[in-house]
């Protein structure tokens, strides 16, 4: 579906404010609000005075801090099925949320009709979390400046299905061309354009334009009466420039390779054994085994298995683990988080020592630190909480081949689908779609469909080798926590874990 950029930006205000656009503009200018800020306020049909009124109402019961988060998201997807680009879906989501914080308590309410009356009602609801004397927010609007890690050359709002469809068709045709065993292909392209605006009781204001795009292919192959499925995807914070023949070819090759190998793969004999995590998607190990347990809300509440480990050695000194919101165009990047804290790169493990938790404003205040810019939310319907961005391990100095040669009997993990963790117990799992059995230092047999389970602190301590081939996996990683989904990525150089429990026959 096509909305040109001007229409998209107008759409929110079109019915919400109607005739009120000009008065709001005048009010904004009169208050000395910078032009870029007042343009975004107009987009949402609110004025600087409205924002201050809502904040002051949110603080009327004595809240210590309040913020307002506005969002207008336009999502499109187009799908090819049975060789035809034959279905499409579009969604418009629009609204704003009011959050009030007092200590470790949060009140939250959101509305879809962004009028002053509705916003004030929401503010009164959220305000009830506190019970004290009324406070006032700042009287200024301090526009936050930030670096743009995902500048868009050609925005999706200006692109029609006619322009997208040839790429889906090419990807479908290429997959069929690559292997005669391919019997079904589904290709899907989705794009999201979000305008967000934020204002808090400290006077901090920002607006951001957040693009997201995903291209994915699912492939079914048949051989001698057996059927296997596999797929490939890429996701970046980019505009239409994301689509090109190179990415189509990469996905076609990857989808066919990942599916065809499954016909010769087995579920191995299970039990405890060494596991070589291949470069790239193995970052799911970091995400599940330690990443979630380093999110500061769990540690603030003393419910993480790493709650007492800050500043302590938790693994080999060759290990450095980063959570990074600044990788250009990365699916997990944030120019500025959903609480107005700048995107940044955070060392969570430095030379084997637990260096930092991943903070939002609340936990940062609790620990007397600055937020690490991890306060993220799924949409205006949710309050922000600490979330990962792009989580990866930095390079070591071992060659992957030497690592494999060191394993007498174990498995090599290559392709993953999902993972999970129990934050307090520390038990984590990830599902291996495909990999290899290692016997006497060599790959002897492809393997598939096994779950691997371990305990976070122990698994981290059991990483005995780290290779020099770091790769970020740019697939469609989505993390779920407290009922909120959040786009992330992960990455890793190959690494040898001396012992994990591998599922199997």
Looking only at residues 370 through 429 of this chain, which bind another protein when binding is defined by CB under 8 A? 381, 383, 417-420, 422-429
**166 touches another protein (CB under 8 A):** no
Question: C-beta of 442: minimal distance to another protein in Å?
Answer: 23
Residue 494 tokens, joined:
């190959």
Question: C-beta of 350: minimal distance to another protein in Å?
Answer: 20
**335 touches another protein (CB under 8 A):** no
Count, residues near another protein per rule CB under 8 A: 95
Question: C-beta of 74: minimal distance to another protein in Å?
Answer: 10
Q: Are 411 and 437 contacting, i.e. CB atoms less than 8 angstroms apart?
A: yes
**324 touches another protein (CB under 8 A):** no
Q: Whose Cβ is closer to another protein: residue 37's or residue 273's?
A: 273
Q: Whose Cβ is closer to another protein: residue 107's or residue 283's?
A: 107
Q: Whose Cβ is closer to another protein: residue 76's or residue 207's?
A: 76
177 burial via Cβ count (<10 Å: 0-12, 13-18, 19+): exposed
Q: Whose Cβ is closer to another protein: residue 452's or residue 490's?
A: 452
Question: C-beta of 133: minimal distance to another protein in Å?
Answer: 18
**369 touches another protein (CB under 8 A):** no
Question: C-beta of 99: minimal distance to another protein in Å?
Answer: 10
Query: Can you tell me the distance from the alpha carbon of 175 to that of 216, in angstroms, rounded to the nearest whole number?
Result: 12
Query: Can you tell me the distance from the alpha carbon of 492 to that of 176, in angstroms, rounded to the nearest whole number?
Result: 32
**What Å distances lie between residue 11 and 6, 16, 161, 196, CA to CA?**
8, 9, 20, 14
Residue 306 tokens, joined:
């790493």
**233 touches another protein (CB under 8 A):** no
Query: Can you tell me the distance from the alpha carbon of 465 to that of 493, in angstroms, rounded to the nearest whole number?
Result: 10
Which alpha helices (H) appear in 190-346, and where do they start and end? 245-260, 283-286, 292-294, 296-300
Q: Which stretch binds another protein (CB under 8 A): 99-107, 240-248, 320-328, 339-347?
A: 99-107
Q: Which of residues 238-297 bind another protein (CB under 8 A)?
A: 267, 270-272, 288
Strands 495-502 and 463-466, how do they pair?
A: antiparallel
Q: Whose Cβ is closer to another protein: residue 101's or residue 403's?
A: 101
Q: Are 282 and 469 contacting, i.e. CB atoms less than 8 angstroms apart?
A: no
Q: Which stretch binds another protein (CB under 8 A): 27-35, 59-67, 350-358, 444-452?
A: 444-452
Q: Which of residues 201-230 bind another protein (CB under 8 A)?
A: 218, 220, 222, 226-229
Q: What is the DSSP string of 134-182?
A: -----S--EEPP---SS--SS-GGG--HHHHHHHHHHHHHHHHHH-TTE
Q: Are 435 and 414 contacting, i.e. CB atoms less than 8 angstroms apart?
A: yes
**330 touches another protein (CB under 8 A):** no
Among 125, 253, 316, 478, binds another protein (CB under 8 A): 125
Question: C-beta of 401: minimal distance to another protein in Å?
Answer: 28
**431 touches another protein (CB under 8 A):** yes
């Amino acid at each position: 579906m096509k909305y040109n950029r001007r229409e998209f930006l107008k759409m929110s205000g079109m019915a919400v404010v109607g005739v009120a656009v000009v008065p709001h503009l005048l009010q904004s200018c009169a208050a000395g609000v910078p032009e870029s800020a007042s343009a975004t306020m107009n987009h949402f049909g609110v004025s600087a005075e409205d924002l201050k009124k809502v904040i002051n109402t949110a603080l009327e019961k004595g809240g210590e801090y309040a913020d307002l988060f506005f969002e207008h998201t336009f999502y499109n997807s187009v799908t090819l099925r049975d060789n035809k680009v034959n279905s499409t879906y579009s969604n418009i989501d629009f609204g704003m949320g009011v959050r009030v914080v007092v200590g470790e308590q949060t009140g939250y309410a959101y509305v879809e009709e962004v009028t002053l009356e509705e916003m004030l009602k929401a503010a009164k609801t959220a305000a009830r979390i506190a019970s004290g004397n009324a406070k006032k927010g700042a009287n200024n609007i301090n526009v936050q400046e930030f670096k743009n890690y995902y500048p868009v050359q050609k925005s999706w709002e200006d692109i029609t299905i006619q322009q997208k469809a040839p790429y889906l068709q090419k990807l479908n045709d290429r997959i069929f061309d690559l292997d005669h065993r391919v019997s079904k292909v589904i290709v899907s392209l989705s794009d999201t354009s979000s305008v967000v605006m934020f204002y808090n009781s400290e006077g901090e204001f920002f607006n951001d334009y957040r693009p997201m795009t995903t291209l994915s292919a699912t492939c079914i192959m048949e051989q001698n009466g057996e059927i296997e499925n596999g797929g490939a995807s890429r996701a970046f914070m980019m505009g239409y420039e994301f689509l090109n023949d190179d990415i189509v070819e990469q996905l076609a090759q990857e989808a066919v390779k990942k599916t065809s190998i499954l016909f010769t793969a087995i579920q191995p004999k299970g039990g405890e054994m060494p596991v070589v995590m291949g470069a790239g998607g193995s970052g799911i190990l970091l995400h599940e085994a330690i990443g979630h347990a380093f999110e500061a809300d769990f540690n603030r509440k003393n419910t993480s298995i790493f709650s007492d480990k800050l500043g302590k050695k938790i693994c080999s000194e060759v290990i450095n683990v980063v959570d990074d919101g600044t990788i250009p165009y990365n699916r997990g990047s944030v120019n500025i988080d959903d609480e107005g804290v700048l995107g940044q790169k955070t060392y969570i493990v430095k030379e084997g020592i637990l260096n930092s938790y991943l903070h939002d404003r609340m936990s940062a205040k609790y620990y007397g630190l600055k937020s690490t810019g991890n306060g993220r939310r799924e949409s205006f319907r949710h309050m922000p909480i600490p979330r990962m961005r792009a989580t990866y391990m930095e390079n070591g100095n071992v060659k992957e081949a030497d690592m494999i040669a060191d394993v007498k009997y174990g498995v090599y993990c290559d392709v993953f689908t999902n993972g999970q963790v129990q934050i307090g117990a520390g038990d984590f799992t990830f599902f291996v779609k495909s990999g290899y059995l290692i016997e006497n230092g060599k790959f002897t047999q492809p393997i598939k469909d096994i779950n691997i389970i371990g305990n976070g602190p122990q698994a981290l301590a059991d990483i005995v080798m780290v290779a020099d081939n770091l790769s970020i996996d740019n697939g469609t990683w989505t993390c779920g926590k407290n009922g909120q989904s959040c786009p992330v990525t992960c990455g890793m150089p190959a690494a040898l874990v001396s012992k994990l429990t591998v599922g199997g026959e």
